[in-house]
Amino acid sequence: MKSEFTQPIGKISNIYGQCIPLIGNDIDTDRIIPARFLKCVNFDSLGESVFEDDRKTLKGRHPFDLEENKNASILIVNSNFGCGSSREHAPQALMRWGIKAIIGESFADIFYSNCIAIGIPCFTLPKTSIEEMQNYCDNQFLFLEIDLKKSLAKSNDLTLNLEIRESSRKMFLSGEWDATSTLLDNGNLIENKFNQLPYIKFNSHYS
């Protein structure tokens, strides 16, 4: 691992970092972190195993192995990124490798929720913009300053209007993306709902 990992906490409004392009549609969570690495009771050591099998196959040529990308933190992907298994181990592994934000054409639903829940904002852009960024990265470093307040990403010569789900954007700006305490604030409403649901009474007797 390149540097000491610290979990994000609180408000997330600006992210600055180098982009790392990863080309391919439908990259599933089995590829991001193969199932054998799920045999763990914490997420701590996942960072080094991210894309393990893809990296071995490419023998050092995988973007996550290139020396020039070792400090990158903004991942640029294509469509349906993170499809398949619900394993949160996938975004946890990316985060522990150093990824702080992801920009892509589209994301699988569960992967997207998992990213939001652990503090990795995911943004979307049209296919052409993504490809433009990925091509740009082929020849030179692309550093982006992401501003969540304005949903903007800027580099020396690019300005991009990022799309992000409004609920996610607000949660990051207010620091409430770690949902547990927000949910628990409605303790009374939860109790009321529990008491109203018809099937709770049908099934009072579990044996």
Indicate the residue among 10 and 24 with the shorter CB distance to other proteins.
Answer: 24
Task: Give whichever of 18 and 84 is closer to other proteins, judged by the CB atom.
Answer: 84
Q: For residues 2 and 127, which CB has a smaller minimum distance to other proteins in the complex?
A: 127
> What secondary structure does DSSP assign to 54-110, as a single string?
HHHHHTT-SGGG-GGGTT--EEEE-TTBTBS---THHHHHHHHHT--EEEES-B-HH
For 111, residues 6+ apart whose C-beta sits below 8 A from its C-beta are 29, 81, 82, 83, 90, 91
**Which parts of this chain interact with other proteins (CB under 8 A)?**
24-26, 28, 30-31, 34-36, 38-43, 53-54, 56-57, 78-80, 83-89, 91, 106-110, 113-114, 117-118, 165-171, 174, 176, 178-180, 182-184, 186-187, 189-190, 193-194, 197-203, 205-207
49: three-class secondary structure by DSSP: helix
CB of 146 to other proteins, least distance (A): 18
Least distance to other proteins from the beta carbon of 35, Å?
A: 5
Give the three-state DSSP class for 22: coil
Task: Provide CB contacts within 8 A for 140, sequence distance 6+.
Answer: none
Q: How far apart are CA 26 and CA 23, in angstroms?
A: 10
Minimal distance in Å, beta carbon 191 to other proteins? 9
Question: Between residues 54 and 142, which has the closer beta carbon with respect to other proteins?
Answer: 54
Q: How far is CA 73 from CA 69, 85, 201, 206, 207, in A?
A: 9, 23, 50, 49, 50
Task: Supply the minimum distance, in Å, between the C-beta of residue 58 and other proteins.
Answer: 12
If the CB atoms of residues 1 and 40 are measured against other proteins, the closer one turns out to be 40
Closest approach of Cβ 34 to other proteins, in Å? 6
